[in-house]
Structure 1
Amino acid sequence: MSKKRVNKIEQGLKVIDINAKGMGVAKSQEGAVYFIKNVVPGDVVNVRAYKKRRGYFEAEPLEWIQTSKDRTDPPCEHFGVCGGCKWQHLSYEAQLSFKEKGVLHNLQHIGKVQAREVIPILGVDDPYFYRNKMEFSFSNKRWLTSEEIEQENQIERNGLGFHKPQMWDKIVDVNKCHLQANPSNEIRNAIKKFALKNKMEFYDSRAQQGFLRTLMIRNTLAGEFMVLIQFFEERKNEIELLLNYVREHFPQVSSLLYCINSKGNDSLYDQEIHCFSGNNYITEYLGDLQFRITAKSFYQTNPKQAGLLYALAKDFAQLKKEDTVYDLYTGTGTIALSLAKDCKKIIGVESVAEAIGAANKNAQINGIKNASFEVGDMKECFNDSFISRHGKPDVVITDPPRDGMHKDVVAQLLKIAPKRIVYISCNSATQARDLELMKESYNFIKSQAVDMFPQTHHVENVVLLQSKTTDEHA
C-alpha cells in the first residue's frame, strides 16, 4: 500500500468509530478520512497527520476539544508508548460493545451471512492481570522520552520491557505491566536490578552482541511460575549467578529454564531449552483435566476465559456418544481432550510437531484413550486418505490461525459434509470470508464473541454451522 510522510494539522475532528486495528476513525468537512491513535469514539480532537495512505491519513491527537463519555483514565504509566494495551483509555463496557459490533459487521459485510441467533459477547470479571505468558526483551539502547533526552544527568540506557511499536531495535523499559499477575512484575524488576548491579551486558539488537537477550514468564491459575531467560552467549559463571538468584528469591518459580540463542532472531522454537531447577513444565488445570505446559507449548493466554471458550464450543457442538469428531488446528489438544469424554473418538491435526507431542502427553496424563493426534500441514494432510483412515466426521471443530482456513481445507469440509461445524476464530474477517464459501451448504445457526484479550481490539468469535441436509429447521 502506497504511503508518504506528511505533516498536516486538522482541527475539530469528531471520532465516530474504531477501525479493525483499534484506531479512532474521523472525517474532515472535506471528507478526508483519518485513523487516529489513542482516541475513542465521541472525542473531538485537533490532530497532526503524519502519514498519507491510499484513502486515509494516519494521525495523532494534539489537543482534546471534547472528551468522550466512554473515555477512562489508563492505569498504566506506559500507556500510549509500549503499544501492548491500546484500549486502556476506553471503558470496558465500550470495549465489549465495539468488539461485538466489529464481529457482526465483518460477518454481514464480508461474509454476507447472518446468524439466526447472536448471543451477547462474553466478557471477563477483571479486565487486568489475565495473561499467563509475557515476553520481555533486554536492550542496551532503550527508548528514551523527550524529557529524558533533554535532561543533562546521565541516563541508564539499559532496559527490560517491550518493543516500541515500529521501532524493532528500541525497548520501552517497563516498571509495572497490568497484564500478568504478580509476582511477574517483581520477578522482572528484580532480574533487571540484579543484572545492572552485577554489570551484566544487555543485548544490542543492531550489533547482535551482548549477554542478556529475553525473559519469558509463564504462570498457571494454580500459582506455578515458569521463568526462561534467553542468553546470547554461554557465560557459565554469569548464567549460574543470575539463575541461582532467581531460584533463591522466588520460590514460586517451579520451572527455571534457560537457553543460549546466538542466531539472528529471538524465536525459541529451534532452540535447546535447559532446565536449571525444578521441572521443565508447569501444570494448568481445566475442569478435571490437567495440561503440562512447556516453554514452547501453545496454550490460550487467558486461562479463565479459555475454560469458558471451550465450554461454549462443547455447547455448540451438541456431541453424542457415537459421534466421530475432528479437531482441526488442534494445537496442544486442549479442545480435543476437553471434548473426548462426550464422543466416540476425536482426532486432532496440527502442523507443529512439538504441539502434537504435548497433546499426546496430555492425553496420556489424563488417561484419555479415544483421542489421537496427527502432525501435518492442514491443506496437505486433510485429504481423502485422512478421511478413509479415521472415517467421516459427524462434527468438526476448527480453530485456525488469523489467516483463517486454506481454501482447500474449506473444499474438503464441504466434500465430507459433517452435520455440524464449530468454527472458533481470532479474526472475524477471515472467518467471515470462509463462512461465505460454505453458506450454500450450511445454515448459520448462532454466533457468540468471547473477549479473550481485554484492553486490546482483539476478540474471539465462535459460530455454529449446521448442514442444510440435516438441519431440521432449514
Structure 2
Amino acid sequence: MGRKKKLKAIENVHISDIAAEGKSVAKVDNMVIFVQKVVPGDVVDIQVIKKRRNYLEAIPTKFHKYSEDRQEPICSHFGPCGGCKWQNLKYEKQLVYKQKQVVDAFERIGKIEIPELIPILASPKTEYYRNKMGFTFSNNRWLTTEEIAAEDESTVLDKRGLGFHLPGRWDKILDIEKCYLQRDPSNRIREAIKDYGMMHNLPFFDLRDQEGFLRLMTTRIANTNDIMLIIQFYENREKEIKDMMEYLKAEFPEITSLNYVINPKGNDTIYDLDVINYSGHPYIVEEMEGLSFRVGPKSFFQTNSTQAYNLYCIARDFADASKDDVLYDLYTGTGTIALFMARSVKEVIGIESVAGAIEDAHINAKLNDIQNAKFYVGDMKNLFNDKFLASQSKPDVIITDPPRAGMHEDVCKMLLKIQCPKIVYVSCNPATQARDIAILSSKYKLEKIQPVDMFPHTTHVENVALLTLK
C-alpha cells in the first residue's frame, strides 16, 4: 500500500473575501482555498487539510499581517465554540458581508436582478440579544490540548460539562463558563445547575451510550422579564427531580415558568413529549407594539425579540395592506406576523403544519381580542390547494416565512396559480429564497429586498423581499 500523499503548506496567502456560509477565501494559482479562523485582509501561511476537485480547505499556521477589519473576541470560548464565528470581525464589516451574501444568492443562484436594495438593518444589540438558549449535559466533555497533556495516572480530570456541541461533533460538548448571547440570569442559572448536578453526583448524559440522568436545559427570557426554564431528564427519578426543582425554585425566584421533561428518546426534541410545569405559569409572555404573545415550552418565537419587531415592521411596510385587504400568512408558526398585521387588514388567514403552534396562535388571538384572524393546521403543500382556497376569501396580500429549506415546489406552483397582487417573502436562508423567487419570476416582478441582521457575530442573515404581479 502506498503512502498517503502529504498535503502541502503555502506561504504568504492573502485572504481576499468571504464566501457562502461565512467561509474566508483565498485564491492561489486560480485555485479557491477556504481558510478557517481568518478574516479578509489577513496574510498568512496555511496548511492544506483537505483537497477537493475544485477547491482546497486549509488552516492558518502563521500570521504575517493582521487585517484592519479584525477585532479582539470578547468570549473566552471563541475558536472551539462554533456559535459566534465572526466575533473576530468588526461588526460593520459583518454587515457588509451579510448583505453581499444576500446579493450573491439572488444574482448567482436565482439569476435575478435586484431593482432596489435597501441597506441591511443592523441589530440594536450585538451581545445578549437571544431570548432562547439550549445547553447540553455531557459526562465526556471536550478537553483542551493542555488538559490532555496534564492528565496522567496521578491526575484525573472531571470530564462533566454543560454547554454547546462542538462544530461537527455530535458526541463532544464544550463546557461553557460564560456566554455572551443571553443576558443574566442565564449564566448564573446554568452554572448553578451544573454545580448542583456535580455536588449531588447526578449522572451527566453519555451522548454515545445514551445513558445518564441530566440531559439538556433550555432558558427563555422574554422582553417582559418573564423567565422560563426547561430541564430534560433522561430517566424518571422522581425524588432527584423534585429535589432539583425545589432547589431551583428557591434559588431563582425570578423564574416565572419552571418546567421539566422526561426524554428517553434518541434525540433532544420535545414536541412529541409531555412538558410538566412544576411551578409558575406554563408559558412566558413577549410583548410587541401593544400585543402580548404567550410562548410555551414548544412554541416558536423569533430568537432576537428586539430585531423581530423591526423585521415585522419591514414586512408590514412592504405589504402596504389596507383595511379592505385579505392577508394570508403562510408558515404562520404561532401566528406572530398574522396577529401583528391583523389590525391593518380586513381578515388574516394563517397556515402552519405544527398543531401546537396553531393552538398558541388561537390563544394569542383571544388574548389580544383579535377576531379577524383564522388559523389552519396542515402540511403546507397538502393543505394549500384549490379546495382550501375555494373555502376562503381570495388573498390581496400573501406573506410567506418558510423554514430554511424554503417553500415546496407545489407551494410555489400554487402561488403562481392564485396570482395574488403582492407577495412578501421573509426568509432566514437567502439561497432558498432566491431559488423560490426564480420560480415565481414567470409571473412576479421582484420590486425590492431588505436584509436584516438577526444574529450578530454569526454568518446567518434574514431577508425580506417584495414581489408584485406582472
For Structure 1 versus Structure 2, the TM-score category normalised by the shorter chain is: over 0.9
Report matched runs for 1:6-25 at 5 Å.
7-25=7-25
The residue that corresponds to 1:74 in the other structure is 73
Q: Does 1:47 align with 2:49?
A: no
1-structure distance, mates of 2:123, 2:116: 22
Most deviating of 441-450 and 301-310: 441-450
What SS does structure 2 have at the residue aligned with 1:446? strand
Which runs of no fewer than 5 residues in structure 1 stay unpaired? 469-474
Q: Structure 1 length normalisation: TM-score?
A: 0.96
1-structure distance, mates of 2:5, 2:408: 36
The residue that corresponds to 2:406 in the other structure is 404
What SS does structure 1 have at the residue aligned with 2:359? helix
| Kept in 2: contact 1:107–1:432 (CA 8 A) | yes
What SS does structure 1 have at the residue aligned with 2:192? helix
CA drift of 1:54 comes to 3.1
Report matched runs for 1:213-252 at 5 Å.
213-252=215-254
Deviation track 1:416-449 (CA, whole Å, cap 9, x = no partner) reads: 1111100001111111111111223122111100
CA-atom RMSD in angstroms: 1.2
1-structure distance, mates of 2:338, 2:184: 31
One-letter amino acid of the counterpart of residue 155, structure 1: L
What SS does structure 1 have at the residue aligned with 2:51? strand
The residue that corresponds to 1:93 in the other structure is 92
The residue that corresponds to 1:471 in the other structure is none
| Kept in 2: contact 1:6–1:50 (CA 8 A) | no
CA drift of 1:366 comes to 0.7
1-structure distance, mates of 2:457, 2:157: 31
2-structure distance, mates of 1:443, 1:365: 38
The residue that corresponds to 2:118 in the other structure is 119
One-letter amino acid of the counterpart of residue 56, structure 1: Y
2-structure distance, mates of 1:354, 1:42: 48
What SS does structure 2 have at the residue aligned with 1:256? strand
1-structure distance, mates of 2:377, 2:307: 27
- Select 1:448's aligned residue among 447, 450, 463: 450
CA drift of 1:183 comes to 0.7
Q: Structure 2 length normalisation: TM-score?
A: 0.97
One-letter amino acid of the counterpart of residue 175, structure 1: E
CA drift of 1:5 comes to 9.8
The residue that corresponds to 1:262 in the other structure is 264
The residue that corresponds to 1:472 in the other structure is none
CA drift of 1:115 comes to 3.0
2-structure distance, mates of 1:270, 1:281: 17
| Kept in 2: contact 1:5–1:51 (CA 8 A) | no
What SS does structure 2 have at the residue aligned with 1:457? coil
One-letter amino acid of the counterpart of residue 293, structure 2: F
1-structure distance, mates of 2:257, 2:21: 36
- Select 1:355's aligned residue among 352, 357, 361: 357
| Kept in 2: contact 1:302–1:452 (CA 8 A) | yes
Deviation track 1:241-262 (CA, whole Å, cap 9, x = no partner) reads: 1111111111221000001111
2-structure distance, mates of 1:276, 1:349: 32
| Kept in 2: contact 1:284–1:290 (CA 8 A) | yes
Q: Does 1:414 align with 2:432?
A: no
2-structure distance, mates of 1:261, 1:439: 45
Which runs of no fewer than 5 residues in structure 2 stay unpaired? none
CA drift of 1:125 comes to 2.3
Deviation track 1:9-67 (CA, whole Å, cap 9, x = no partner) reads: 22211111112111101112x22221111111111111222222331122221111111
CA drift of 1:6 comes to 6.4
CA, structure 1 residues 36+6, in 2 after alignment: closer, same or farther (shift >3 Å)? farther
The residue that corresponds to 1:330 in the other structure is 332
| Kept in 2: contact 1:329–1:349 (CA 8 A) | yes
2-structure distance, mates of 1:54, 1:373: 49
Deviation track 1:281-309 (CA, whole Å, cap 9, x = no partner) reads: 00000111101111110000000000000
2-structure distance, mates of 1:123, 1:5: 46
One-letter amino acid of the counterpart of residue 39, structure 1: V
One-letter amino acid of the counterpart of residue 409, structure 1: V
Q: Does 1:203 align with 2:202?
A: no
The residue that corresponds to 1:137 in the other structure is 136
The residue that corresponds to 1:430 in the other structure is 432
2-structure distance, mates of 1:126, 1:405: 30
2-structure distance, mates of 1:449, 1:301: 17
One-letter amino acid of the counterpart of residue 131, structure 2: N
| Kept in 1: contact 2:124–2:307 (CA 8 A) | no
Aligned residues: 464
2-structure distance, mates of 1:436, 1:184: 42
What SS does structure 2 have at the residue aligned with 1:422? strand
1-structure distance, mates of 2:304, 2:124: 12
CA drift of 1:397 comes to 0.2
